[in-house]
Structure 1
Amino acid sequence: MNASDLYALRERFNQDRTLLCFNGPISRSLIEEIGNALKNYLEIDQARPAEAMDVFSAYIEMTQNIRNYALKNGYGDTDAAATVVIARDPEGRYTVTVGNRVELADGERLVRRVAELASMDKAELKAVYKTQLRQPRDPSAATGAGLGLIDLARRATAGIEATLSPHGDGRGFFSLSVVI
């Protein structure tokens, strides 16, 4: 990337009101460091405490899911990379958007689940959360109780959305965005 391309990227970030952007392999310590930076940005941006907590919680949930998925699938650094963007939309709401490479079947399942959750109102999401909370967990399951996506949908003030871009190698790029 040359200097003029970097300037154009900076201008795009400013235009999109991007607070934080990261792209690359993600580790537990990096999630923590970016989280600390995010807390500082939210403080400087004078986010309301409840709003800041929702943004931070969404960031943690989303990035930990990416890291756990990459570890579970034995991905190397290239495939274990995450893209994270936190910005403000024109209405002043925060958007937390993350993406990573996934197996196509996993991505398709996630896109369907997110669409299902996005179609629910707050009362339906609360009921689904409580039902999921009461479900017995399979001790041999590699993932959690399935509450993370439901919780993200509950925190969203203006929606949750997922997309999948297939890459022809049995994998695709999964993107998840939540507006808080």
Structure 2
Amino acid sequence: MTEEVDVLFLRDAFTRQGIMLCFNGPFSAELIEEIGKALRHYLEGMKESPSSVTDVFAAYIELTQNIRHYVREQGFEGANAEGTVVVSHRDGRYIVSAGNAVRQADGDALMARVDALSGLDKAALKAAYKTQLRAPREPGAKTGAGLGLIDLARKASAPLTATLKPLPDGLAFFSLRVVI
């Protein structure tokens, strides 16, 4: 027999942590779009500034699409094909966090990229964005941790933070936190 989910416990935990939205599972394009619409409507209903709505929505879209593309590219199945996204509101700021299973080497590269970006000020982030935008792209080149990650760092009100936790079979769970 499976353990019953204690919905009251979850509601109380979500309330304590300011969690407005949480999803765990496989991301399809349709699901990303529908959750994104609901998130945007919720924020607009809370009378948030248009720039806040746009930045939170953009962070949600960037993170969930990155998960979807990576999982498909890697051919992951089962639990490794799932991602998690959480949007919360605390201390007057929105936090968009997302995570998924990655190959250890990919996770290490992402951690290094996030660490490098977190040490840059707004002017340096703008310069890095322009440099990345102008960089030539090779046909068929694998993308990742490029413009989107730099743009997240530019929109964030605090440095990006990430964690990488080991999983079996040469995988790790990468999570990224963006404060808007």
TM-score bracket relative to the smaller structure: over 0.9
For the pair 1:2 / 2:15, whether they are aligned, the reply is no
The residue that corresponds to 1:141 in the other structure is 141
**Alpha-carbon distance between aligned partners in 1 of 2:79 and 2:144, rounded to the nearest angstrom:** 25
**Contact kept? 1:97, 1:175, Cα under 8 Å:** yes
Q: Give per-residue Cα distances to partners, 1:101-139, cap 9 Å, x unaligned.
A: 000000111011001101100000000111111110011
For the pair 1:165 / 2:171, whether they are aligned, the reply is no
Matched residues, number = 178
> What residue ranges of structure 1 are gaps of 5+ in the alignment?
none
How far does residue 43 in structure 1 lie from its aligned partner after superposition?
A: 1.4
The residue that corresponds to 1:12 in the other structure is 13
**Contact kept? 2:110, 2:145, Cα under 8 Å:** no
Mapping of residues 25-174 of structure 1, within 5 Å: 25-89=26-90, 91-143=91-143, 146-174=146-174
How far does residue 158 in structure 1 lie from its aligned partner after superposition?
A: 1.8
Quick one: which amino acid aligns to residue 2 of structure 1?
E
SS at match of 1:78: helix
How far does residue 175 in structure 1 lie from its aligned partner after superposition?
A: 0.2
Give the TM-score normalised by structure 2. Answer: 0.95
Q: Give per-residue Cα distances to partners, 1:137-170, cap 9 Å, x unaligned.
A: 0112122681010000000012211110001320
> What residue ranges of structure 2 are gaps of 5+ in the alignment?
none
**Contact kept? 1:72, 1:142, Cα under 8 Å:** no
**Contact kept? 1:132, 1:145, Cα under 8 Å:** no
**Alpha-carbon distance between aligned partners in 1 of 2:80 and 2:144, rounded to the nearest angstrom:** 22
**Alpha-carbon distance between aligned partners in 2 of 1:47 and 1:104, rounded to the nearest angstrom:** 38
RMSD (Å), alpha carbons: 1.3
The 4+ residue runs of structure 1 with deviation greater than 2 A are none
Quick one: which amino acid aligns to residue 149 of structure 2?
L
SS at match of 1:55: helix
How far does residue 26 in structure 1 lie from its aligned partner after superposition?
A: 0.8
**Alpha-carbon distance between aligned partners in 1 of 2:144 and 2:84, rounded to the nearest angstrom:** 22
SS at match of 2:80: coil
